[in-house]
Amino acid sequence: MKTTNRAGLHSVKLLIASAVALSALGGSASAAGELNLYNWSNYFAPELLERYEKETGTKVNIDSFASEEDLLAKLQAGGGGYDVIFPGTTTLGVMVEKGMLAKIDVNQMENFKNLLPAFTTIAGDEDRAYSAPYMWGTTGFSYDPEMVPGGALEESWKEMFEPRDELKGKIAMLNEMSDVWNAAAFYTGVSKCTEDPAEAQKILDLLMAQKPHVKLYSNDGTIDRMIAGEVAVHMQWNGASHRVKEKKPNVVYVYPKEGTTFWTDVIAVPKDAPNLEEAKKFVNWMMSPEVAAIASNYTGYSNAVAGSGEFLKEDLRADPAVNTPEEYNDRLRAFENCSPASKDLREKVWTKLKS
């Protein structure tokens, strides 16, 4: 991601690291003793980069992508020379199906025992042969009470898709196909894996009716945008909402009652990774409790490693945007591996919306 996505501001250190990565990745292969990461921007703690380099003597470079579509396209084109990537569940399944990932047998790694039971398997990589969990979270929306009528909004996607007159032009959507599609599907009562063109048209009609009232579609700058008051309501990942609260404590994160996407990002290794063995060591290292906690403390998202809780910041544990209240558990909707026909409909709707 170019400036901010899952997390927020792109630090100077990461900008420098990205520049180094671009230079280093220009050749046909990376030198031994280096590790090249490809991740959402500002979604990896600089402290961990320094720590890994200090502990192993391996130089770590990092580059960023703006969306999972960009990540997939880059790897399909054979570009990058990356050793470790951080895709979401949907992209993971595609990469496994297309043979784009190295089989690194995560389930045999020393630190695999540290994973919480719910994360020892995942759709598309049921045996955890190709991926380890990174961060997990939800996609809802945030609003600033000082900028909305009456200071409160319904816990419903209606506030986004049929905004009140006072909020028209003051809402922002993510520029992520699966998140937008899922939210629209939840609101219309359509299965997010529908294969029915008529149901897909229903989703498209909703999105096209909403479009004139959307200030912008963007994964970048979601935190800064809310802090600056550029929009009153923003479709947002929960960790980003948590980081908005560091500057605006009264901002509210909503788990819409019609359904809230529950997602997991993973750590994987491309099949042509120049530094395969080093990449495997890195993946194992990321499953240690203290390392996972440092990642969570930086990104504002939960991790999947048991024992990491004692290292987490108190504000992270106390924020309902991150630590989902029990009463909202039935609103969470997990990933489903939809059919090719369903995915094709989704892509057609997205193309029409963005044209």
pLDDT in tens, 304-321: 999 998 899 999 988 999
Q: Residue 264's pLDDT band (boundaries 50, 70, 90)?
A: very high
Return the pLDDT at 69: 87
* Torsion from C-alpha of 302, 308, 309, 311, nearest 10 degrees: -110
Q: Examine the pLDDT at 35 and tell me if it is beyond 90.
A: yes
For the domain spanning 29-136+264-325, the CATH number is: 3.40.190.10
pLDDT in tens, 96-133: 999 999 999 999 999 999 999 889 999 889 999 999 99
Give tens-digit pLDDT for 45-85. 999 999 999 999 999 999 999 888 899 999 988 877 999 99
The pLDDT of residue 28 is above 80: no
Instruction: Return the pLDDT at 6.
Output: 55
What are the boundaries of each domain within the chain?
29-136+264-325, 138-262+333-354
Cβ neighbours of residue 207 closer than 8 Å, sequence gap 6 or more: 161, 180, 184, 349, 353
CATH C-level class of 138-262+333-354: alpha beta
Average pLDDT, the chain: 89
Strand ranges (E), 28-121: 34-40, 59-65, 84-85
Mean of pLDDT values over 17-30: 37
Would you list the DSSP string of 112-146?
Answer: GGGB-GGGS--TT-TT-SSEEEEEEEEEEEEE-GG
What pLDDT score was predicted for residue 17? 37
pLDDT at 8 over 70: no
* pLDDT of res. 67: 87
Q: Return the structure tokens found at 312.
A: 């987490």
pLDDT of residue 16 exceeding 90: no
29-136+264-325 matches 138-262+333-354 in fold: yes
Q: Is residue 216 scored above 80 in pLDDT?
A: yes
Average pLDDT for 158-163: 98
Q: How many CB atoms lie within 10 A of CB 129?
A: 15
Q: Which residue has the tokens 């996609």?
A: 139
Which residues lie below 8 Å from residue 165, measured CB to CB, with a gap of 6+? none
Specify the higher pLDDT residue, 235 or 326: 235
Report which of 84, 19, 97, 94 is spatially closest to residue 58, judged by C-alpha positions. Answer: 84
pLDDT at residue number 21 = 39
C-alpha 96/C-alpha 85 separation (Å) is 13
Collect all residues with Cβ–Cβ distance below 8 Å to 323 and sequence separation of at least 6: 302, 316, 317
**Residue of 94, 173, 86, 101 whose CA lies nearest to 135:** 86
Which residues on neighbouring strands pair with residue 332, listed in sequence order? 260
Residue 27: pLDDT above 50? no
